[in-house]
């Protein structure tokens, strides 16, 4: 393992797009004898600080995995608790996000969420849609395979309509039809809590991303640890299959 101390953040080489798998809320709560939702609540507090620090550092796109297509398998109280937290987060943070010129976007089919959560999300999307600062992408009911399948279905429909032939299909056409259409791939994907998996997050977009794993549980993921992860990324040599 690389030493934790040896990283110095270079503020001139901040990645444009950082993606984060926010993992470990449940274990954080368990360690304290608290219900899992207390972990998600603490995770929400951590997220606020990471969004702020992303903006200060000059990250252009921050994408966080808040709820996966697989997370519906969790107990119903936990699922509805996460959606309630989302409303709390949006109500508390929207004015400040907007004042900081942050643009909120949602990756995933959020139409399955409870009405009140959808309303809170749509208010945020509408209010911030013309902002030009940090783009804050929240992956909700998101799955990488599901996202690729949506793109494939759309392209197949365009082929069936006669607008395109199979031979004309390109990688760019797939990229354009993902939630990330028009934005650069993440240079770095960070996952907290010591788990070493991608878990169906940004499968297409992370083809050449660097992965940074930290043992820190998401609620304890501080802006300082975030900077350390970015500095660790900066220490990597990216070759994109070349030499």
Which residues of this chain interact with ligand FPP, rule CB under 6 A? Answer: 22-27, 40, 43-44, 47, 66, 71, 82, 85-86, 89, 138, 193, 218
Task: Write down the least CB distance from residue 22 to ligand FPP, Å.
Answer: 4
Nearer to ligand FPP, 138 or 230 (CB): 138
Nearer to ligand FPP, 26 or 143 (CB): 26
> Tokens 């749509």 sit at which residue?
122
Among residues 23, 25, 55, 185, the one annotated as catalytic is: 23
Task: Write down the least CB distance from residue 29 to ligand FPP, Å.
Answer: 8
- In this structure, the number of other CB atoms found within 10 A of the CB of residue 174 comes to 16
| DSSP letters spanning the chain | ---SS-----TTS--SEEEEE---HHHHHHHTT--HHHHHHHHHHHHHHHHHHHHHHT-SEEEEEEEETTGGGS-HHHHHHHHHHHHHHHHHHHHHHHHTT-EEEEES-GGGS-HHHHHHHHHHHHHHTT--S-EEEEEEEE-HHHHHHHHHHHHHHHHHTTS--GGG--HHHHHHTSTTTTSPPPSEEEE-TT----TTSSTTTTTT-EEEE--S-GGG--HHHHHHHHHHHHTSPP-TT--
Task: Write down the least CB distance from residue 85 to ligand FPP, Å.
Answer: 4
Residue 162 backbone zone (phi > 0: left; psi -120 to 50: alpha; other: beta): left
Among residues 10, 25, 55, 71, the one annotated as catalytic is: 71
Task: Write down the least CB distance from residue 118 to ligand FPP, Å.
Answer: 13
Task: Write down the least CB distance from residue 238 to ligand FPP, Å.
Answer: 28
- Give yes or no: 137 in active site: no
- Give yes or no: 71 in active site: yes
Q: Which residues pair with 65 in a beta bridge?
A: 21, 139
Nearer to ligand FPP, 89 or 107 (CB): 89
Which residues participate in catalysis according to the annotation?
Answer: 23, 71
């Amino acid at each position: 393992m690389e030493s934790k101390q040896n990283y110095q953040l270079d503020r001139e080489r901040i990645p444009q797009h950082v993606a984060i798998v926010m993992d470990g809320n449940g274990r954080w709560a368990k360690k304290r004898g608290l219900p899992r939702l207390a972990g998600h609540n603490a995770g929400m507090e951590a997220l606020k600080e990471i969004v702020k620090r992303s903006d200060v550092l000059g990250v252009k796109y921050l994408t966080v995995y808040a709820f996966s297509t697989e997370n519906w398998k969790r107990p119903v109280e936990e699922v509805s608790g996460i959606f309630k937290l989302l409303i709390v987060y949006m109500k508390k943070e929207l004015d400040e996000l907007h004042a900081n010129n942050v643009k909120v976007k949602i990756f995933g089919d959020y139409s399955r969420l409870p009405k009140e959560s959808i309303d809170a999300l749509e208010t945020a999307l509408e209010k911030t849609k013309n902002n030009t600062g940090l783009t804050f992408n929240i992956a909700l009911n998101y799955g990488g395979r599901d996202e690729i399948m949506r793109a494939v279905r759309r392209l197949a429909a365009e082929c069936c309509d006669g607008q395109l032939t199979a031979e004309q299909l390109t990688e760019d056409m797939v990229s354009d039809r993902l939630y990330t259409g028009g934005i650069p791939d993440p240079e770095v994907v960070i996952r907290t809590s010591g788990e070493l998996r991608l878990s169906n997050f940004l499968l297409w977009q992370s083809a050449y991303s660097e992965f940074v794993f930290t043992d820190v549980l998401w609620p304890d993921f501080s802006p300082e640890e975030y900077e350390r992860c970015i500095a660790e990324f900066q220490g990597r040599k990216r070759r994109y299959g070349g030499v």
